[in-house]
Amino acid sequence: MDLVCPAGNYQSLVKAVDNGANAVYMGLKNETNARHFAGLNFSEKQIAKAINYAHAKNCKVYCAINTYPRESKWARWTNSVDQAMALGIDTLIVADTGVMDYIRSKSDTFPIHLSVQASSTNLESLNFYYNNFAIKRAVLPRVLSLAQVSKLARTAPVEIEVFGFGSLCIMAEGRCYLSSYLTGESPNTQGVCSPAAFVQWEDKGEVLESRLNGLLIDKFTENESAGYPTLCKGRFDVGGNVEHALEEPTSLNTMDILPELIQSGVVAIKVEGRQRSPAYVATVTKAWREAIDRVENTGEKVAQDSINKLASLAEGKQTTIGAYERDWQ
């Protein structure tokens, strides 16, 4: 099983490679990728340096061009494809059919991985992308049960990759319009849930307030970790109780079911977190490398201390296996 790890910058890429990633994924410094944050992602010079470093250690480099182009800026997406391919990227992670078609106009064989942003959750959908664009792999959305994932891994004409650790979202990837309700800008096209221009922080002494486009999202006391203001993970007054009305901050951690995922035929585990620090990437990559090697080499389940090690890095200090546990599907 491949371990695919995040690289929001060059330092994170080095940490992922050095700690056992089989592949790293990155984005360009524009809205063509779904983590378009200030200070993240790679310039042309940095990509070339990153590819050289990773390839020297037998690690592949993937580039996410996985948002949906707007008509007026179509050239930005095609130029990004041209740039990534010319620099020697091993694979492009893509959601939009027009972008896939453009890649195929350049090459019949260049590897395309279907992004989780395409929100492909069934066999006929995967058949469509395979038959029309010859995709090699599909990253499944985090809304499927273990039984559903296993069935697709057995029957799909492409490799199946799933997320193993990182932030969760209540929305099916690629179908979120919640953030655009407040800002008019969607992660599907802008590459970020809460664009920095709309984020406001106000220190009121004992309380730190976060706002998104003027709307109060949350209040944090001195002893609380302040989360980035997204509408889905805000705290709101509901019937007199201030609570996480839509979603509590938590992280997906599938180490408990790693043997089942391997047995099902899933070919790759993906770690979310291009917006995270190099230290985070190093710790998570090392833990997952040890976990995969243990299961594949000994057939034993992952040690509980490895699972607990990641709990301290989880959002809200809590983890879940999410939709995987839905035994009724």
Rounded CA-CA distance 73/118 in Å is: 20
In the prediction, which pLDDT does 173 show?
Answer: 74
- Contact (CB, 8 A) for 179 and 230: yes
The DSSP code for 251 is E
Pairing, β 23-26 against β 268-271 = unpaired
Give the three-state DSSP class for 153.
helix
Lowest-pLDDT choice from 185-189, 215-219, 220-224:
185-189
In the prediction, which pLDDT does 131 show?
Answer: 98
Is 311's pLDDT higher than 70?
A: yes
Rounded CA-CA distance 323/329 in Å is: 10
How much of the chain, in percent, has pLDDT values that exceed 90?
Answer: 63
User: Letter for the amino acid at 326?
Assistant: R
Is 191's pLDDT higher than 90?
A: no
| Average pLDDT over the chain, rounded to an integer | 90
Is 7's pLDDT higher than 90?
A: yes
CATH 1.10.1760.20 is held by the domain 2-168+250-325: no
Phi, psi of 30 (to 5 degrees): -160, 180
Give the pLDDT confidence of 258-277 residue by residue, as tens digits: 999 999 999 999 999 898 99
Q: What is the mean pLDDT of residues 143-147?
A: 91
Per domain, the residue ranges of the chain are: 2-168+250-325, 178-244
Q: What is the mean pLDDT of residues 154-162?
A: 98
The DSSP code for 157 is S
Q: What is the mean pLDDT of residues 24-39?
A: 90
Report yes or no on whether pTM surpasses 0.85.
Answer: yes
- Contact (CB, 8 A) for 11 and 25: no
Confidence of residue 81 (pLDDT cuts 50, 70, 90): very high
Is 100's pLDDT higher than 90?
A: yes
- Contact (CB, 8 A) for 193 and 187: yes
The DSSP code for 65 is E
In the prediction, which pLDDT does 328 show?
Answer: 63
Termini Cα distance of the chain: 25
Is 231's pLDDT higher than 90?
A: no
Is 179's pLDDT higher than 80?
A: no
Rounded CA-CA distance 309/246 in Å is: 27
Q: What is the mean pLDDT of residues 1-25?
A: 97
In the prediction, which pLDDT does 257 show?
Answer: 92
